[in-house]
Amino acid sequence: MRQNYMVTVRRICTAVALVMVTAGGIPALAPAALASPAVASAATHSTPPRVHPDGAGDCEAVVENSPNDYTVTPKVRSGCLLGATTVPGAAPHVSIGIQLSACGGLLTWAGIDPVTMTFACFAAVGLGLLSTQYCGPNFSSDCLNAWNGGPYVNVYTGGDETRDTNQNFMVIAEDGDQGAVEIMYTGSSSWNGRCIGDASNNSGLADVSLDACARPGQSAGWGTQMTWGSDGCPSGTVWIRDNHWNGYLGPPDNAANGSHWYLNKPNKVCLAIWTNMAA
């Protein structure tokens, strides 16, 4: 097992089984059983949520101080609060992914631009969060990578990457609904704020590029709308299913560095979530 998979201050890796719950009146994901439904029930209900003391306020401050002159609306406040609130029973890194998804979706639907949204939601979580990255199948080193900053999303076989931002992706729950998600690129290139979808937004191409995300006033690009879960995967991994192709996000068999990712894999591809933190 590579050192990168160890739980450290710098990196924490994995994901768990996911089920739908309601947090603050907004659908959210919480961890299901690692062993059995009974274990899940006990874990989920015995650990109360914790709110990062300054997180919600820091998140709101990022929005309010943006040069775009945003107003902190009730939807922004809800997103910031969910971003700052841990998920009962979830491992810290899994909770971070869920918190970002809820925060990011609500802020996006409140009209906040992707860059401000990302910094605001990272501020809500706190902990020196730098990025979330997705690699698989089954904890392998094949990671989603916006090749040369986009638009095409290829396989990087070197595992999690911190020398550039090409592997920075965030799952976004549309208007906070965890049953309808997109994968937004949050790296620093001009393709920031686009979402994983059909190559070149061509509905006949199942390989992956960055396309327009669904957001208020903007139609979703082909293949950008998805669902996710973990049933049928080893604990510590999740699958992501594409609604357009009725298939799963994954690399080709025996992927090489630079191979395309695809949205039409016939079977579940189990991906691990990496969360990178400042030391």
Considering the four listed CATH numbers 3.40.47.10, 2.80.10.50, 3.40.50.2300, 2.60.40.420, the one that applies to the domain covering 3-44+53-277 is 2.80.10.50
| pLDDT of res. 90 | 65
Closest among 175, 93, 103 to 135, alpha carbons compared: 93
% of the chain surpassing 70 pLDDT: 80
Q: What backbone torsions phi and psi does residue 251 show, to the nearest 5 degrees?
A: -85, 165
Helices 92-109 + 114-125 axis angle, to 10: 140
Q: What backbone torsions phi and psi does residue 77 show, to the nearest 5 degrees?
A: -60, -40
| pLDDT of res. 147 | 97
In the three-class reduction of DSSP (H, G, I as helix; E, B as strand; rest coil), residue 64 is classed as helix
Give the residue extent of every domain in the chain: 3-44+53-277
Closest among 123, 108, 130 to 65, alpha carbons compared: 123
The C-alpha atoms of residue 117 and residue 195 are separated, in whole angstroms, by 14
Residue 4: pLDDT over 60: no
Between strands 181-185 and 26-31, the pairing is unpaired
What is the pTM for the complete model shown? Answer: 0.82
Q: Which two tokens stand for residue 213?
A: 């995300």
The CA angle 266-270-273, to the nearest 5 degrees, is 140
| pLDDT of res. 274 | 87
